Amino acid sequence: MQKILVVDDEAGIRNSLRAILEDEGYEVETVASGEECLKIAEKSNFACILLDVWLPGIDGLETLKLLRDQGSDAVVIMISGHGTIETAVMATKLGAFDFIEKPLSIEKTVLTVRNAIRTRELELRNAELAEALNQEYVMIGNSVAMRALRKQIAIVAPTDGRVLIQGESGTGKELVARAIHNQSRRKEKAFIEVNSAAIPEELVESELFGYVKGAFSGATQTKKGKFELADGGTLFLDEIGDMSPRVQAKVLRVLEESRFEPLGSNTLVKVDVRIISATNKNLDELMESGSFRHDLFYRLNVIPFQIPPLRERIEDIPLLVDHFNRKFSLAYGKKPKEFTESAIQAMQEYSWPGNVRELKNTVERIVIMKTKQKITADDLPEFESDGFLSSSSRFPSFKEAMDAFQRRFIEQKIAEADGNISKAAELMGIDRSHLYRRIKALGINLDKIKF
């Protein structure tokens, strides 16, 4: 049952409001002063507070402010007597939902209270949804690289500095861009995404800068471009490596001048936009070959972010598997799977060309498709590690194949040596300090080796 608090120094008003609201099915408490209101609101969780403007001690307006200061999220309706309407109106500007006037009309009172409570419920629900949405953007990982990334985000987010995020496909570039936005002073404003690779060349300009009615045949009304939609917020330019030279020139101009003209308009629009850009292409190569402008690169790349591929931070794999396992089990109403050491190890030996996205899809598929609870390496033939040389396509480069081989070789020898590093080094015919360096460089976790 929703709880309502009535605050009025007149006993008659308290009693009649109690009667009216109890009839409507609310649970009602009453007090006679602002001081008492603050005390009881601190202890009890009211959905709605009806607050008299004129009160003997601290008045209604002051009580409202103090209520907010002490963190009450009750919706407040002011009760205004003769001569206090102006104050009641002012109170609505300070966050009161509405006001009702004395003498009280039963109908108006009931209606206002119902509206207020419904609005509060919607607001709480929205806050929940926003929270869930933020959950969608949590960044999992405790590797040195991820910890450094989080630190870098925390430092850069509050500034307006332009950020260029580079990393292979699926490493989490968009996630990082959203994290920067969500930790910035622009977080209440829009986060607008432009995927330069997905928009046909001839539409990029109208997408970015908008157009006015009549700018071209088919422009039946004025449309705002992404730069304008992002005003006050963040514009995420994704896949900038795919921008055509023409668009690069246009974007460069906006970055230099913070202004642009929508198509068909000769009025400059000024915007306050923070730019975060991203690409999985190698911009150095693109600049070398002349398909990406140096001057644009320097404009965008004020603060560089480099997200390492997943195979270079394999200690994040167990955490990510656990995260996606829970997430998808919950989403599909299933019990979370149990990934055994062998399964995790097989996944750590795999090279993940599609990075976190590929791992996320893999775990989702397992949660949906596998009927058994326990997942072992045998359930993951695609990551079967023994035959890894026969599936060399798994390793995009010589170095990665070598690393994977060395990791496995070293782990086996350490296991054979019962965990004795000196002995393992001897077995391998290398010296102990060399072995230690390799263990460190390859991120081998000695605690995980079974012997």
Residue at token pair 């202004």: 259
| Using rule CB under 6 A, residue 145 touches ligand ATP | no
User: CB-wise, 84 or 171, nearer to Mg ion?
Assistant: 171
| Using rule CB under 6 A, residue 308 touches ligand ATP | no
CB of 173 to Mg ion, least distance (A): 5
Among the listed residues 85, 90, 104, 139, the single contact to ligand ATP using CB under 6 A: 139
Find which of ligand ATP, Mg ion, none residue 360 binds, CB within 5 to 8 Å per kind: ligand ATP
The binding track of 320-359 with respect to ligand ATP, each residue x by CB under 6 A or -, is ------------------------------------xx--
Token pair, residue 276, equals: 């975060």
HSE (side-chain half, CA atoms, 13 Å) at 86:
1
Contact segment (CB under 6 A) with ligand ATP among 168-176, 251-259, 375-383, 385-393 equals: 168-176
User: CB-wise, 141 or 233, nearer to ligand ATP?
Assistant: 141
Among the listed residues 30, 80, 112, 171, the single contact to ligand ATP using CB under 6 A: 171
Q: Give the interface with Mg ion as residue ranges (CB under 5 A).
A: 174
User: CB-wise, 34 or 241, nearer to Mg ion?
Assistant: 241
User: CB-wise, 157 or 276, nearer to Mg ion?
Assistant: 276
User: CB-wise, 226 or 438, nearer to ligand ATP?
Assistant: 226
Peptide bond into 381 cis (omega under 30): no
User: CB-wise, 80 or 171, nearer to Mg ion?
Assistant: 171
CB of 238 to Mg ion, least distance (A): 5
Total of residues contacting ligand ATP (CB under 6 A): 15
Residue 40 near residue 32 (C-beta atoms within 8 A): no
User: CB-wise, 167 or 225, nearer to ligand ATP?
Assistant: 167
Find which of Mg ion, ligand ATP, none residue 170 binds, CB within 5 to 8 Å per kind: ligand ATP
CB of 2 to ligand ATP, least distance (A): 37
Q: 268 to 297, contacts with ligand ATP by CB under 6 A?
A: 280
Q: Show the 3-state SS of the chain.
A: CCEEEEECCCHHHHHHHHHHHHHCCCEEEEECCHHHHHHHHHHCCCCEEEEECCCCCCCHHHHHHHHHHCCCCCEEEEEECCCCHHHHHHHHHCCCCEEEECCCCHHHHHHHHHHHHHHHHHHHHHHHHHHHHHHHCCCCCCCHHHHHHHHHHHHHCCCCCCEEEEECCCCCHHHHHHHHHHCCCCCCCCEEEEECCCCCHHHHHHHHHEECCCCCCCCCCCEECHHHHCCCCEEEEECHHHCCHHHHHHHHHHHHHCEECCECCCCCEECCCEEEEEECCCHHHHHHCCCCCHHHHHHHCCEEEEECCHHHCHHHHHHHHHHHHHHHHHHCCCCCCEECHHHHHHHHHCCCCCHHHHHHHHHHHHHHHCCCCEECHHHCHHHCCCCCCCCHHHCCCHHHHHHHHHHHHHHHHHHHCCCCHHHHHHHHCCCHHHHHHHHHHCCCCHHHCCC
| Using rule CB under 6 A, residue 175 touches ligand ATP | yes
| Using rule CB under 6 A, residue 170 touches ligand ATP | yes
User: CB-wise, 72 or 171, nearer to Mg ion?
Assistant: 171
CB of 412 to ligand ATP, least distance (A): 30
| Using rule CB under 6 A, residue 166 touches ligand ATP | no
Which residue's C-beta sits nearest to Mg ion? 174
CB of 57 to ligand ATP, least distance (A): 53
CB of 279 to ligand ATP, least distance (A): 8
Residues that bind ligand ATP (CB under 6 A): 139-141, 167, 169-175, 280, 356-357, 360
